Amino acid sequence: MRDIPDVLVVGAGAAGIVAAWRAASLGARVLLLEKTPRIGTKILISGGGKCNVCHDGPMEEVLKGFRPNEARFLRPSFYRFSNQDLLRLLTDRGLRVYTRPNGRVFPVDQTAKDVVAILAEVLAETGVEVRRATPVRRLSHQEGRVTGVETAEGAIPCERVVVSTGGSSYPNSGTTGDGYRWARDLGHTVVPVRAALAPIYLRTDSTWADLSGVSLRDVVLRARKGDKVLDRWRDDLLFTHHGVSGPTALEVSRAVAEAGAEGVSLDVDLLPDRTPEQVAEWALELATTHPRKRLRSLLDGIVPERLTDRVLIAAKAEGETPLGQVDRKTRNRLLETLKRWPIGEARTVPLEKGEVVAGGIALDEVDPKTMRSLRCEGLYLCGEVLDVAGRVGGYNLQAAWSTGFVAGETAARDAETHAGRMP
Ligand SMILES: Cc1cc2nc3c(=O)[nH]c(=O)nc-3n(C[C@H](O)[C@H](O)[C@H](O)COP(=O)(O)OP(=O)(O)OC[C@H]3O[C@@H](n4cnc5c(N)ncnc54)[C@H](O)[C@@H]3O)c2cc1C
């Protein structure tokens, strides 16, 4: 593009691609600059390479995947470009999708590559010029107005710049928090960044290392500081070399990170559908009907065999004791452990391993209806660079698609206005 672009988009992730496509489809000349040699890098690794493109259901329900202040901010863009709009964009171009019972939408062929291929197609269709392997070094500005960007190849002037540089987790995918630095230079507040949707490393990691890969199905993981439950989540839990991962750990990780990890303990409810009284009744009944069965058999079907001894140790119980001979105190300890099995103290929540980061450009400094910066003219902000972080389930990509769409649309309309082409 030899002419000065109408709109320049920095960062070709979900938000930047949609911003560029939307601006170009409104007639703007758009230049999309991407630091890495490919577009949609994070989309490619999303959902374990399968890409959970969005969450199904009414947008009001989808907004519940975010904290209330984030949902308030996202509402206008979620209605402007909804999950159905996104799916139409993809399915009109041949992607087949299916919705899991938990509302998560995936490509039928289970590959994120197809999603990125379609996005590349729409960029080409609308004439967006994409420059890969072109990191932007900084944003140029003058008297509170954006004037362009600087790259290794030189300066590119442009009066409307969309910043969609993502967060700062998974730095190998190109996201090293560049947008935060630029926004700060331009007068924005950047809410301190911390991990969200990340594994939790435990202090006792060495004791879990040999169990790496073992998982628990449908349990409740709780994070507590003292007596206060910081967060809880019901789903699967995976033991890793350093601690825990899987949906439950990712979901509570934000609360653990926000509490500073230090002093936060984790415990598991292995029987979330039963009250302590029901568990006690069931154990008593088993002891009466099968007095010769070993105590460890109580754990059959509740935890994988490799975890049985850990639970028994936590309950200070001897697994070989026949059920009929277990004293009341031991039985109570075991029952308590089934409802609250302590698995250790958090050591850290590694930011770089977060599927998303919490924190980022303060939401009250961006207009939620247009994604215009309220600090600097000609600047539009979208995607994970903003202070939003949703739950697991396609929420975060939706935030990127929707805010990207609105940012691109506004930038293109502003370009028209300035060129005097708007009616
Ligand atoms: C392992 C993993 C799995 C995930 N799975 C899912 C999932 O299944 N569903 C879901 O909804 N969410 C998922 N997420 C979260 C989701 O991928 C992100 O929230 C989303 O991609 C953010 O989009 P974005 O466009 O804002 O930022 P990104 O996708 O991170 O894109 C930012 C882009 O900007 C580029 N960039 C950065 N700095 C510069 C610069 N200086 N110059 C030029 N370009 C620059 C980067 O290279 C990058 O390509 C997952 C994340 C990870 C890490």
**Mutation test residue for ligand 1: of 70, 165, 250, the one with most atoms within 8 Å of CB:** 165
Sequence ranges of the chain with CATH classification 1.10.8: 276-340
Residue range(s) in the chain whose domain bears CATH number 2.40.30: 200-269+344-351
Ligand 1: atom nearest CA of 48 is 3
**Residues 138, 35, 414: CA angle, nearest 5 degrees:** 60
C-alpha 7 to ligand 1 mean position (Å): 21
The verdict on the CB of residue 33 being under 6 Å from ligand 1 is: yes
C-alpha dist (Å) from residue 348 to 39, 56, 228: 31, 33, 19
Distances (CA, A) of 44 to 47, 205, 206, 382: 9, 30, 32, 19
270 in ligand 1 pocket by Cβ < 6 Å?
Answer: no
Residue 46 confidence (pLDDT): 94
44 touches ligand 1 (CB under 6 Å): no
Ligand 1 centroid to Cα of residue 125, in Å, is 23
Give 61's contacts (C-beta < 8 A, 6+ positions apart): none
Q: Which among 38, 42, 355 is the best mutation to test ligand 1's pocket, defined by most ligand atoms within 8 Å of the CB?
A: 42
Pick the CATH number of 200-269+344-351 from 1.10.1470, 2.40.30, 2.60.40, 1.10.3470: 2.40.30
Q: What is the pLDDT of residues 315-341, one digit of tens each?
A: 999 999 999 999 999 999 999 999 999
Nearest protein CA to atom 27 of ligand 1, as residue: 166
> ∠ CA 370-79-364 to the nearest 5 degrees?
40
How many CB atoms are closer than 10 A to CB 260? 13
Residue 11 CB–ligand 1 contact under 6 Å:
yes
- Where in the chain are all domains bearing CATH 3.50.50.60? 7-194+356-418
pLDDT digits (tens, 9 = 90+) for 59-103: 999 999 999 999 999 999 999 999 999 999 999 999 999 999 999
User: What is the reported pLDDT for 209?
Assistant: 78
101, 113 Cβ separation under 8 angstroms: no
Ligand 1 centroid – CA 92 distance (Å): 24
H or E element, residue 147: strand 145-151
**Does the beta carbon of 135 sit less than 6 angstroms from any atom of ligand 1?**
yes
pLDDT at 423: 35
Residues 6+ apart with CB under 8 A from 112: 40, 43, 44, 45, 46, 47, 49, 50, 51
65 lines ligand 1 (CB under 6 A): no
Indicate the CATH number for domain 276-340.
1.10.8
Residue stretches of the chain with pLDDT short of 70: 1-2, 205-206, 419-423
Identify the H or E element spanning 124.
Answer: helix 112-125
Of all protein residues, the one whose alpha carbon is nearest to atom 6 of ligand 1 is 46
CA distance 51 to 90: 13
Atom of ligand 1 nearest to the CA of 47: 8
State which of 21, 62, 161, 396 you would mutate to test the pocket of ligand 1, scoring each by most atoms of that ligand within 8 A of its C-beta. 396
- pLDDT for 2: 58
* Domain 7-194+356-418 = CATH 3.50.50.60: yes
| Ligand 1 close to Cβ of residue 247 (< 6 A) | no
- pLDDT given for residue 206 in this prediction: 59
Alpha carbon of 166 to ligand 1 centroid (Å): 5
Model pLDDT, residue 420: 44
